[in-house]
Structure 1
């Protein structure tokens, strides 16, 4: 008889905490608790949100009468540790410390994932792992260079969901992810637009650093002169929050709740309509940018993430970008399923867990 493994998934995002309990590959329970940016900004740092978000876990377990005693695996979404190759990593003290310190330069709610997994592990046991954290670095060399000597672009994206979506679509095509070229976009509280060449994310926006389209929580790219004018004199925390929590829709409307903003759009609010459409327009521009690293050889444009619940987003992207490649939508995300599948591979011995190296996968050119 095949053994049944119980796997608990913890996925803190910029505007929500998503929790799932799996038995092998079957999703038994899932909840996704929204957090308004006003509440999150009341904490001095993201690390200070730990107790607040742990209460979400304990409320979920109590309300659904779930006992995690004897759990086999606890999976925490990885955060801003040093950049690593893709894969599944054991959560240890060094990984937790480097994530809390944002050693990889990513300041984002995902940094709570390994910390929350450790809290659950301390109480209920089980192995604890992370998989394909946002700092997976597979950039091509040309994508690293900037116009300032010694300053290099970072790879920060929704790597877990982007790669899971790409693998899912490749399988539906009857191909391997490693044999395809995709542009994959995660569109939600944060937005990642990435170019995938034969199984590697060779380019994309630094979603964690505020580069790219503005989002419900992030201000997006600005000209250096605009950035200097707007940010000069602000505190480090104010600048950090604009990049990760207080920018974008939150800056315009005082809330990162996309449903509230979209209701304003539906009710004819001219400012809301203008800003909403501009956000979609910027996503479209970045998709066009990502077609060029792939030399136009794109098998498909894949859209995923929670904001696809608003049909006009996918429709406008398809209208503008289908000349590049066919556009396919995968609303929501595959992150919970991907983490559960990864835990199963470790638990069954199909794959070996990696040890976090404690140093970046790439640290500069030799000359």
Structure 2
């Protein structure tokens, strides 16, 4: 069996996670934290590229990694036009659309394909992207809103959601494409999604602020409440509540879940109420996804950083175990998922897709 060397690059809002794989084996992983005071020096996310590339070069040096002859470089996808799930070859069109955030998602993940291209120019290897946040496999009914011409969009933790679903399907001796799952990523952001036979057909728009409130996000609110809030907040303050300072941040001035959970453990009534309310909202979305799947649910899968707290799983099980078995996968599997996706392509088990430069869905045929 051939030995393939795969570099995985995963830029996040405040860190860059890098891993080197030989086939399925992870040789070296490093998650480098970027202080917000440093990142604020850059006017745009794209301006961070040289700084982040220095992080990659330090990673290679510290790990004594020679990338010459590398077989694949996988960069986490960002805000290109929406795509269906899968592994994609990185080309000039994908790089440019991601750099320009054509799909509307402006997030640090947009640096992943750019960093892969930088290294490819120096070391070669195929360049790949897998399951970016803008994966759109929504069923038609999930797109419709009550305002003509306004449609729901799909932005989620697609990479980890689909990786968790594949991992669980394998653990029960089945294929992801043959199962129906409700998969929840629960961390600083929260995605609750319905997966039907390998397609993520519905879920909250986590990137747009829809769904449960989270450690950093205010979550869904009645429009009338939003309008009242706008009277007392600037546009920038309101945007911050949607993505950075809402949720725990609004109540406590910090999104540090460890700090909040210590208050919960100490019996602080307010902290207990807020913590349990967040999980309560996750439970409500799980219930709604079960109806989308018409009750035919093979499993409810929980993943993400907040699963390090056992009571999160316990509270969800208490309310949802009757729907389907609940299984927790604490943490995330993004690095592993990207490496395994590249490995399938290198072994000829899966063909890498070509990015079209167009959104996967752009309205109904009968739209005026």
Distance apart, 1:21 and its partner CA: 0.7
Deviates more, 1:117-126 or 1:336-345: 117-126
Alignment partners' CA distance in 1, 2:231 and 2:99: 27
Correspondence list, 1:143-182, <5 A: 143-182=142-181
Distance apart, 1:299 and its partner CA: 1.2
Distance apart, 1:15 and its partner CA: 4.7
Distance apart, 1:89 and its partner CA: 1.1
* TM-aligned CA distance change 1:219 to 1:290, over 3 Å: same
Alignment partners' CA distance in 1, 2:298 and 2:277: 27
Residue ranges of structure 2 left out of the alignment (5+ in a row): none
State whether structure 2 residue 28 is matched by structure 1 residue 29: yes
Superposed CA RMSD? 2.4
Distance apart, 1:212 and its partner CA: 0.7
Distance apart, 1:268 and its partner CA: 4.6
Report what 2:92 is aligned to. 93
1:17 counterpart SS class = strand
* TM-aligned CA distance change 1:90 to 1:163, over 3 Å: same
Please tell me whether the aligned partners of residues 37 and 246 of structure 1 are also in contact (alpha carbons under 8 angstroms): no
Distance apart, 1:41 and its partner CA: 6.0
* TM-aligned CA distance change 1:212 to 1:359, over 3 Å: same
* TM-aligned CA distance change 1:154 to 1:219, over 3 Å: same
Report what 1:254 is aligned to. 253
* Number of residue pairs the alignment of both structures matches: 366
Alignment partners' CA distance in 1, 2:255 and 2:310: 19
Report what 1:221 is aligned to. 220
Alignment partners' CA distance in 1, 2:232 and 2:354: 41
Alignment partners' CA distance in 2, 1:258 and 1:43: 27
* TM-aligned CA distance change 1:121 to 1:351, over 3 Å: same
1:81 counterpart SS class = coil
Report what 2:339 is aligned to. 340
Deviates more, 1:13-22 or 1:262-271: 262-271
TM (norm. structure 1) is: 0.91
* TM-aligned CA distance change 1:230 to 1:39, over 3 Å: farther
* TM-aligned CA distance change 1:107 to 1:353, over 3 Å: same
Report what 1:295 is aligned to. 294
Residue ranges of structure 1 left out of the alignment (5+ in a row): none
Report what 1:58 is aligned to. 57
Report what 2:307 is aligned to. 308
Deviations 1:24-59 (A, max 9, x none): 111111123445667656654433443444343333
2:324 counterpart SS class = coil
Distance apart, 1:214 and its partner CA: 1.7
Correspondence list, 1:1-367, <5 A: 2-34=1-33, 43-231=42-230, 238-367=237-366
Distance apart, 1:360 and its partner CA: 0.5
1:85 counterpart SS class = coil
Distance apart, 1:363 and its partner CA: 0.4
* TM-aligned CA distance change 1:73 to 1:231, over 3 Å: farther
1:32 counterpart SS class = strand
* TM-aligned CA distance change 1:285 to 1:21, over 3 Å: same
Please tell me whether the aligned partners of residues 107 and 208 of structure 1 are also in contact (alpha carbons under 8 angstroms): no
TM (norm. structure 2) is: 0.91
